[in-house]
Homo-oligomer: A and B are copies of this chain.
Amino acid sequence: MKVSVLGYGTVGKGVCDMIERTPGLELGPVLVLHSERSESFMITDIDEILKDSTVGAVVEAIGGESPAGSFAERTLKAGKHFVTSNKAMVADRGIELSALARSTGKAFLFSAACGGGIPFLHNLSVARKSDDILSMSGILNGTTNYVLDMMQSKGVPLDTALSQARRLGYAEADPSADISGLDSYRKIILACAVAYGIQPEGYKDIEGIAGFTQQDAEVISRRGAEVRLIASGGLNGDGSVYAFVEPRVFFDGMERAVRKNFNSVSYTGRNSGLITYSGQGAGRYPTASAVLRDLTGIEEGTLYMLPAECVRRPAVNDMEERYLVRCEASQKDRFITEEVWSEEGGTAVFVTGPMEVSRMHSLAAELRNSGQGIFFASLGD
């Protein structure tokens, strides 16, 4: 099968290299911007690909919602398979594009959009056919995991850790979607769409790591624990879905063993029990390897990851968690406090009783809107 690639950046070049090394695949024209055109196989007009009847599949590795979304639509309408690593675009238009793909009989696959090189979405889409996926959670952003690991194992401040991550190529030039938790959230809602045919909508209850300080790291380290940024998604008892992102405190467990820029993501199947996948969540060849698995899967008839019927529904995050909270001491009474870890210099660190996830996130937003600092992390059992 001849495969064209849109974009020749980090992921695009990795995909091109791998296609050239994979038996049964052949590299077609590669779309780049005028300013990037340096090789004869590069073109600057997508129509050359869409009109080329020898091209069977197109890989999109441009990133961003636009023009990637319209390129996807035009590719499918031109009767070619479409594979992408673009989580923002799939979160935005994946349901419609998958339906379009099914109507044309062509593939719409996006393994690399959640977990990078980890084959999480593929395995979810296989498992859901014979098992009930009860819940999912994981570390889905390598940049924030690297920053948290450096802050907690080396004692460096967030900004320094982030600069290191950028120097090592782990962080984007603009890492705001990583730090805010938005990138992790996009990945977990894609996992919900694959597992349940329901994509949570609303983009709420997303807490990243911007509020995490060296002092917070020290307080938690003194108790023998560490923080990781966890995206959670799953099915509520009433058939609605939940999805949220927040820091979580780990006293032990697999997540705590996830270091540097690694990702780790689990699902619990009613029959399979807990299954955890860990690996490189980003990077040229890990991400390209996920794209290539999609491409070789097409040749064996695996064309879709989303179920045939897929809808958007508001996330209902009404389960209760106990939280570790650090805020101004004067605000402590707004919480039901189970245990006070420390209270000095006008700052309190304490453990709350069980409270709704959504309530915790909205209280934190309230405090921030009134100019106060807060850090919170769920505590688990």
Contacting chain B: which of A34-42, A284-292, A346-354? A284-292
Among B122, B123, B127, B286, the residue within 8 A (CB) of A271 is B286
Contacts of A257 in B (CB 8 A): 252-254, 256-257
Contacting chain B: which of A90-98, A173-181, A223-231, A275-283? A275-283
A301 at the interface (CB under 8 A from B): yes
Among B22, B279, B302, the residue within 8 A (CB) of A272 is B279
A297 lies within 8 A of B126 (CB)? yes
CB within 8 Å for A283 and B273 given contacts A257-B253, A301-B301? yes
Q: How far is the CB of A208 from chain B (nearest CB, A)?
A: 25
CB within 8 Å for A275 and B118 given contacts A131-B292, A252-B257, A254-B254? yes
Q: Determine the main DSSP class of A at the interface with B.
A: mixed
Q: Which residue of B lies closest to A122 (CB)?
A: B126
Among B22, B129, B254, B276, the residue within 8 A (CB) of A296 is B129
B277 lies within 8 A of A277 (CB)? yes
Cα-based distance from A55 to B349 in the complex (angstroms): 63
Q: Which residue of B lies closest to A288 (CB)?
A: B271
A373 at the interface (CB under 8 A from B): no
- Max count, chain B CB within 10 A of own CB: residue among A127, A275, A297, A300: A275
Cα-based distance from A214 to B127 in the complex (angstroms): 41
B130 lies within 8 A of A18 (CB)? yes
Q: Which residue of B lies closest to A294 (CB)?
A: B130
Q: Which residue of B lies closest to A253 (CB)?
A: B257
A197 at the interface (CB under 8 A from B): no
Query: How many copies of the chain does the oligomer comprise?
Result: 2
**Contacting residues of chain A (222-272) with chain B, CB-CB under 8 angstroms:** 252-254, 256-258, 269-272
Contacts of A286 in B (CB 8 A): 271-273
Cα-based distance from A271 to B15 in the complex (angstroms): 10
A340 at the interface (CB under 8 A from B): no
Q: Which residue of B lies closest to A252 (CB)?
A: B257
Among B277, B285, B293, B302, the residue within 8 A (CB) of A276 is B277
Cα-based distance from A279 to B25 in the complex (angstroms): 34
Q: How far is the CB of A31 from chain B (nearest CB, A)?
A: 22
Cα-based distance from A272 to B277 in the complex (angstroms): 13
A336 at the interface (CB under 8 A from B): no
B130 lies within 8 A of A296 (CB)? yes
Which A-B residue pairs are the 9 nearest by beta carbons? A130-B292, A275-B279, A272-B289, A271-B285, A257-B257, A271-B289, A129-B296, A117-B272, A276-B278
Q: A271-B286, A271-B289, A272-B286 are in contact. List 19 more A-B contacts (CB 8 A).
A: A14-B271, A18-B131, A22-B129, A119-B275, A123-B123, A126-B297, A127-B293, A130-B295, A131-B292, A131-B293, A254-B258, A254-B278, A271-B285, A272-B280, A273-B279, A273-B286, A275-B278, A275-B280, A276-B276
